[in-house]
Amino acid sequence: MRVLIAGATGFVGRALAPELLEDGLQVRCLVRSRESDVALELARAGCELVEGDVTDPGSLERALDGVDAAYFLVHMMGRVEDWAEQERTSARMFGKAASAAGVERVIYLGGLAEDEAPHHESGEPGLSDHLQSRHDVAIALEETGPPLTYFRAAMIVGSGSESYELLRSIVERLPALPTPDWLSSRTQPIGIRATVAYLRDALEIPDTAGREIQIGGPTVLTHLDVVDAMAREMGRSPKRRLAKAKALDAVLDAAATPRAVAAAAGAVTTGDDRVATAIALGLPGDTVVTDPSGMGLFSIRPESLSIALHRAMEESEEAAKS
């Protein structure tokens, strides 16, 4: 079987490619540059590279020729100004090109969110631009392409993840956090190993085609709990603000709007500040598995958050040494 990964040089794509090779699949990667470090690493591992862009019809035709299944793991946030529209456009083009090439199925990884939540621009709780775009891409792929397997996950924990870099930066650089009610929204982080396992095994499970599959780790936590878990793994104290006068607490929490916290996230992250800001704007809403039936198709048991965080820290340290 030949598979294509669009977005192979991204965090998830570069973790998925070697696993598919290990399964004995022919793996083709659509990359913007053959000379990038990640592209060269993929080539050394045994992947076939096709240089091009998901917004170019010629590139898509070359990349999808002879492909049985395709992964769409493209994320343009932080790369271009009109990233949301570019993502929707590229998804429509990819879907049409995949259908024309006779691709049997497309697999996509989006975000967990309440689809009926209002799209907000004001900073009030609701579906953020980031999460809205993730879902819009799925709709575009579903409407234009072959049967879609639509995976949905909250924070994916692993070295190199923008969410992980933001989390680590918050623990390292902020002495304390405000505790507004909206930061107690629930989330269900999942490790990169389990995420890749779901993406990998979906090819072997026919019932995953043409459906949404929500995936998450074994524990539902608040966003503040996740920060505290990271602090414990790093041997630091929890980051919640120490108790002060109730009147002062109320003032501080009222000032901690989603946009104010997002701006702070962009300022402290060691990753991409624009991506960190967009991620933080999605914090007010719950990002949890509400339909576990898709996970039931797999024999995968995601590891705990503490183990996933520990692995990510070890991998980050190894990468820093090399």
Burial class (CB in 10 A: 0-12, 13-18, 19+), 254: exposed
Task: Say whether pLDDT at 141 is over 60.
Answer: yes
| DSSP-assigned letters across all residues of 173-229 | H-S-B---GGGG-EE--EEHHHHHHHHHHGGG-GGGTTEEEE---S--EEHHHHHHH
Non-local CB neighbours of 306 within 8 Å, separated by 6+ positions: 229, 232, 233
Question: Phi-psi region for residue 69, left (φ > 0), alpha (ψ -120 to 50) or beta?
Answer: beta
CA dist 191 → 34, 96, 116, 204, 289 (Å):
29, 32, 27, 21, 15
Task: Say whether pLDDT at 185 is over 50.
Answer: yes
pLDDT of residue 147: 97
Q: What would the two tokens of residue 92 be?
A: 């429509």
Task: Say whether pLDDT at 117 is over 50.
Answer: no
pLDDT of residue 130: 65
Burial class (CB in 10 A: 0-12, 13-18, 19+), 288: middle
Q: What is the pLDDT of residues 223-264, one digit of tens each?
A: 888 888 988 888 877 655 544 444 434 444 444 555 555 455
Q: What is the pLDDT of residues 8-54, one digit of tens each?
A: 999 999 999 999 999 999 999 999 999 999 999 999 999 999 999 99
Tell me the average pLDDT across 155-178: 80
Range from 105-119, 181-195, 200-214 carrying the lowest mean pLDDT: 105-119
Task: Say whether pLDDT at 270 is over 60.
Answer: no
pLDDT of residue 7: 94
Contact predicate 53/79, CB 8 Å: no
Cα separation, 196 vs 215, whole angstroms: 11
Contact predicate 309/233, CB 8 Å: yes
**Confidence tier at 173 by pLDDT (50, 70, 90):** confident
- Average pLDDT of every residue of the chain: 83
Tell me the average pLDDT across 189-203: 97
Burial class (CB in 10 A: 0-12, 13-18, 19+), 154: buried
Contact predicate 41/106, CB 8 Å: no
The dihedral through the CA atoms of 291, 292, 293, 297 has a sign that is positive
pLDDT of residue 228: 87
Residue identified by tokens 């953020």 is 128
Contact predicate 134/156, CB 8 Å: no
